[in-house]
Chains A and B, each alone.
Chain A
Amino acid sequence: MNSRLGLAALGALALAAVLAAAPYAALAQKSGGTLRIYHRDNLPSASIHEEATISTVMPFMGVFNNLVLYDQAKKLNSDATIIPDLAESWSWDQTRTKLTFKLRQGVKWHDGKPFTAKDVQCTWNRLTGKDPDEFRKNPRQVWWQNLKEVSIKGDYEATFNLNRPQSSFLSMFASGYTPVYPCHVSTKEMRINPVGTGPFKFVEFRRGESLKFVRNPDYWKKSLPYLDAIEWRVIENRSTRILAFIADEFDLTFVADVSIPLLKDVTSQAPKAVCEIAPQYVSSNLIINPSAAPFNDPKIRRAMALAIDRKTMIDILSQGKSDMSGVMLPPPEGNWGMPPELLRKLPGYSGDVAKNRAEARKIMESLGYGPQKTLKVKVSTRNIPIYRDPAVLLIDQLKQIYIEGELEVIDTSIWHAKVTRKEFSVGMNLTGVPVDDPDVNLYENYSCNSERNLTQYCNKEVDKLIDQQSQEPDHDKRKKLVWEIERRLAEDLARPIIYYDRAATCWQPRVKGFVLHHNSIYNNWRFENVWLDR
């Protein structure tokens, strides 16, 4: 009996091991086939480093390699899931200001030239504006503000010299936004005909039509990729592309393209499709221009924050699926988000909407506003449904505190230009965060010297705290600092987060080896482990 139990336990363990190893377990991966995906829009260019949109990262990440990468098989990105890529290993010096990568040998660019440490140096020189052939746009320059220089030793060792220790410096290398570029190809050429070392070679991009990538036969991971090719078709009309997926025209949807209301249609008409709802790490947030009267008065900004009923917004817009949160993505998917008990202490988060609004009305009344004298304001937003819908709800909610909003829909192509020129009073904005790490989110969106700090919020004390958490090696202590920053940002109403959205990504059951990441949409599009079980 005991031996039977022992055998059963052994069997269960073996089964658990197999399940745990899935989906990368060498079950019976089949090589060949073309993965068909639809693209939702026309991407601005092929150069990942020059863009800040998933539209470019998702198709082009497979062309490149990073130095290190978030494990494509793990759903949650964290420091523990960073694995070697073009760097075989890495090490910090004792001062934790020098990060040395030992590079892989024998790797070739798609045009046959060898990959060396010069390419690494060159990429980061371009990112920090030290290379004569600098990027036309450099949206993540702030990520590398602590990088003093990149020194190389021979062809296969590169050292990143920092101004000060930075705990999560490595995590920025692991994002889909951080591929290594070839030094011998110009930045202009990389926008049109990108050359990488990755599993797929770029073939062509026909504007408004399609993108094609084929297997790189000389890929340094000898048995990979499994797919012969990846073909993307651009379908701008959402109804058409969802219908096309249902009709089995595509193997995979664009990431997070299936909204919660649409998901019912997909699962009912294509019941075999695998659909996963995941946070996108894209927040809907309220932007208030602090230099435009009367919003230069912090009292009004506080009243506005108190008027927001986040739960109602979430219930209406995503059938209750989205997450209420502060600046960082909330747990369980987010590594750094505030726990609910702390979140409830922030202004406007208590859940007692009636009480909050009563307080907000008092503030407004003290400033001379009331039912007879309302504050008229234009609520600007981008002309895209995911921007417009929460803006409409916001206008309705602001009415409760004597603010009469009028929706001002801005042509999507000039949204950022208008915001940067501060041609708005109140706006509804969306912000995506590529890496679930405080440095990426806080420096990019809230530090005084970031170009992507849309409201140009600047608090030197907060900046100091951001630097402090950045240098803190102890994870728990760092987390507490991050929560303190969250508290300050919420009190300063820097950019009140309304909610973090969730949406579904779907694929046909024949797609194997694909793992959707749950705390970033930007990091899992290498496709080298994906195969088709036809």
Chain B
Amino acid sequence: MSGYLIRRFFLMLVTLFGISVVIFVMLRLVPGNITDIIFDSAGFVNPKQKQRIERELGLDQPIVTQYVRWIGGLARGDLGYAYVSEKPAIQEIAPRIPVSAKLAGLALVFSTLFGVTLGVLSAVRQDTTLDYVLRVVSLSGLSLPSFWLGLLILMACVQWFGWIPIYRSTPDSFWKELGLLALPAAAVGFRSSALVMRLTRSSMLEVLRQDYVRTARAKGASETAVNYRHALANALLPVVTIVGIEAAFLIGGLIVTETVFNIPGVARFLVEAIRWRDYPIVQNLVMFIAFVVVLVNFLVDMLYTVLDPRIKFGN
């Protein structure tokens, strides 16, 4: 097992290195750089002043020098300076990570709770009215874009309650924060829960037809025990994979929800930084998201061994 862990660790490092090179090069292939954008807000471009700013920001250096400088800084924990705000990049990035993490976490909890519960219900009541209703709900969850759903929620709240559930300022208590993030999390989680629900249902249906489930029933186990202890435990493996992928996606993929509900999270900030070609912000944020994805993948793999003791990575 320890050999496997060491291999995985090095593989993670290689993956992150590859991502760092790709993001660094791709950012510089996109037309325009920060100086173009700085001047855009002034409505003109002065080539001389532009050159001066490029020199100040180190953009006149060869790309390899720029890369080494960035990676060297990253290794020392120095993320550099944001080009636009002229503040340390860490000051810009750090406050946004918890906001997105909480939203993603809440959306994940929502999708898992609803998805798994309703998926199991749908499977055990296969071909009943409830099953049909839940299948329609899951299909609508997959087909409704979250920006549309988000706007619909906002409009409904304004119309019926004269109140709009958008992010105002950092809430001063856990419950206030929960209240503020619940609706956007539901808007995002609805799609994920539909996915989880469909997967849980099909996985459960497959497991429910296995011999050991029949054996459990024959031994007199209650329906609840059969469904949840025997069947669900074995049906969860593919669901965990999907939840893992969703978790990784959510940390950087909440752009639409963060924009509609005006949440100052990582995804919205990343898009803004890309628009401004704010390289230090984009590079460090993408690296952070890549790190989360790699880490979640690793954790999901580890979770397999817990859920199914037959799986052993040592070999």
Closest to A247 in B: B164
CB pair B92 A417 closer than 8 Å: no
Is B268 at the interface (CB under 8 A from chain A)?
yes
Q: With A and B bound together, what is the CA distance between A414 and B33 in angstroms?
A: 8
Residues of A within 8 A of B87 (CB): 192
Q: With A and B bound together, what is the CA distance between A420 and B40 in angstroms?
A: 10
Residues of A within 8 A of B31 (CB): 411, 414
Distance in Å: Cβ of B281 to nearest Cβ of chain A: 10
Is B154 at the interface (CB under 8 A from chain A)?
yes
CB pair B168 A233 closer than 8 Å: yes
Q: With A and B bound together, what is the CA distance between A55 and B92 in angstroms?
A: 20
Is B86 at the interface (CB under 8 A from chain A)?
yes
Distance in Å: Cβ of B101 to nearest Cβ of chain A: 17
Distance in Å: Cβ of B43 to nearest Cβ of chain A: 4
Closest to B41 in A: A44
Is B134 at the interface (CB under 8 A from chain A)?
no
CB pair A137 B158 closer than 8 Å: no
Distance in Å: Cβ of A32 to nearest Cβ of chain B: 20
CB pair A243 B43 closer than 8 Å: no
Is A127 at the interface (CB under 8 A from chain B)?
no
Is A136 at the interface (CB under 8 A from chain B)?
yes
Is A248 at the interface (CB under 8 A from chain B)?
yes
Stretch of A144-152, A206-214, A307-315 on the interface side:
A206-214
Closest to B147 in A: A237
Whether A420 touches B44, Cβ cut-off 8 Å, given contacts A136-B38, A233-B168, is: yes
Stretch of A46-54, A316-324, A342-350 on the interface side:
A46-54
Residues of A within 8 A of B164 (CB): 240, 243-244, 247, 249
CB pair A452 B262 closer than 8 Å: no
Is B276 at the interface (CB under 8 A from chain A)?
yes
Whether A137 touches B38, Cβ cut-off 8 Å, given contacts A240-B261, A247-B158, is: yes
Q: With A and B bound together, what is the CA distance between A233 and B99 in angstroms?
A: 17
CB pair B40 A236 closer than 8 Å: no
Stretch of B20-28, B45-53, B300-308 on the interface side:
B45-53
Closest to A210 in B: B169
Set B45, B151, B163, B276: member contacting A247, Cβ < 8 A = B163
Q: With A and B bound together, what is the CA distance between A276 and B166 in angstroms?
A: 26
Is B155 at the interface (CB under 8 A from chain A)?
yes
CB pair A451 B44 closer than 8 Å: yes
Q: With A and B bound together, what is the CA distance between A361 and B95 in angstroms?
A: 60
Is A335 at the interface (CB under 8 A from chain B)?
no
Is B312 at the interface (CB under 8 A from chain A)?
no
Whether A208 touches B272, Cβ cut-off 8 Å, given contacts A244-B166, A269-B158, A413-B32, is: yes
Q: With A and B bound together, what is the CA distance between A237 and B162 in angstroms?
A: 19
Residues of A within 8 A of B92 (CB): 207
Residues of B within 8 A of A43 (CB): 41
Q: Most chain-B CB neighbours within 10 Å: which of A55, A206, A247?
A: A247
Is A30 at the interface (CB under 8 A from chain B)?
no
CB pair A50 B42 closer than 8 Å: yes
Chain A-chain B contacts (Cβ-Cβ < 8 Å), number: 129
Is A409 at the interface (CB under 8 A from chain B)?
no
Closest to B99 in A: A209
Set A209, A414, A452: member contacting B37, Cβ < 8 A = A414
CB pair A416 B44 closer than 8 Å: yes
Residues of B within 8 A of A136 (CB): 38, 49, 53
Residues of B within 8 A of A96 (CB): none
Residues of A within 8 A of B43 (CB): 52-53, 139, 416, 452
Closest to A450 in B: B44
CB pair A416 B40 closer than 8 Å: yes
Interface residues of B in 39-95 (CB under 8 A from A): 39-46, 49, 53, 84-87, 92
CB pair A243 B155 closer than 8 Å: yes
Whether A413 touches B37, Cβ cut-off 8 Å, given contacts A137-B49, A208-B272, is: yes
CB pair B44 A452 closer than 8 Å: yes
Distance in Å: Cβ of B125 to nearest Cβ of chain A: 39
Q: With A and B bound together, what is the CA distance between A413 and B41 in angstroms?
A: 8
Residues of B within 8 A of A56 (CB): 41
Whether A206 touches B259, Cβ cut-off 8 Å, given contacts A44-B38, A137-B39, A240-B166, is: no
Distance in Å: Cβ of B49 to nearest Cβ of chain A: 6
Is B229 at the interface (CB under 8 A from chain A)?
no
CB pair A416 B45 closer than 8 Å: yes
Distance in Å: Cβ of B299 to nearest Cβ of chain A: 30
Closest to A38 in B: B262
Residues of A within 8 A of B260 (CB): 237, 239-240
Q: With A and B bound together, what is the CA distance between A414 and B38 in angstroms?
A: 10
Is A188 at the interface (CB under 8 A from chain B)?
yes
Is B275 at the interface (CB under 8 A from chain A)?
yes
Q: Most chain-B CB neighbours within 10 Å: which of A415, A420, A454?
A: A420
Distance in Å: Cβ of A61 to nearest Cβ of chain B: 16
Set B44, B49, B262, B272: member contacting A235, Cβ < 8 A = B262
Residues of A within 8 A of B269 (CB): 207-208
Is A191 at the interface (CB under 8 A from chain B)?
yes
Whether A237 touches B262, Cβ cut-off 8 Å, given contacts A249-B164, A411-B31, A451-B46, is: yes
Whether A42 touches B272, Cβ cut-off 8 Å, given contacts A137-B39, A243-B154, A417-B36, is: yes
Is B253 at the interface (CB under 8 A from chain A)?
no
Is B264 at the interface (CB under 8 A from chain A)?
yes
Interface mask (A263-298 → B, CB under 8 Å = 1, otherwise 0): 000000100000000000000000000000000000
CB pair A240 B84 closer than 8 Å: no
Is A103 at the interface (CB under 8 A from chain B)?
no
Residues of A within 8 A of B201 (CB): none
Is A246 at the interface (CB under 8 A from chain B)?
yes
Distance in Å: Cβ of A470 to nearest Cβ of chain B: 21
CB pair B46 A137 closer than 8 Å: yes
Is B198 at the interface (CB under 8 A from chain A)?
no
Interface residues of A in 19-55 (CB under 8 A from B): 42-45, 50-53, 55
Distance in Å: Cβ of B162 to nearest Cβ of chain A: 6
Interface residues of B in 150-200 (CB under 8 A from A): 151, 154-155, 157-159, 162-164, 166, 168-169
Known contacts A52-B41, A243-B155; 12 additional CB pairs below 8 A are A45-B41, A51-B41, A137-B42, A139-B44, A192-B86, A207-B269, A236-B259, A244-B262, A247-B162, A413-B276, A416-B39, A451-B45
Name 26 interchain pairs, CB-CB below 8 A, sorted by A. Answer: A50-B42, A51-B41, A51-B42, A52-B44, A53-B41, A137-B39, A138-B49, A192-B85, A208-B264, A233-B168, A235-B166, A237-B259, A239-B151, A240-B164, A243-B158, A247-B157, A247-B158, A247-B162, A247-B163, A414-B31, A414-B32, A416-B40, A416-B45, A451-B45, A451-B46, A452-B43
Going nearest first, the 7 A-B pairs with the smallest beta carbon separation are: A414-B32, A44-B41, A417-B36, A139-B42, A247-B164, A52-B43, A420-B45
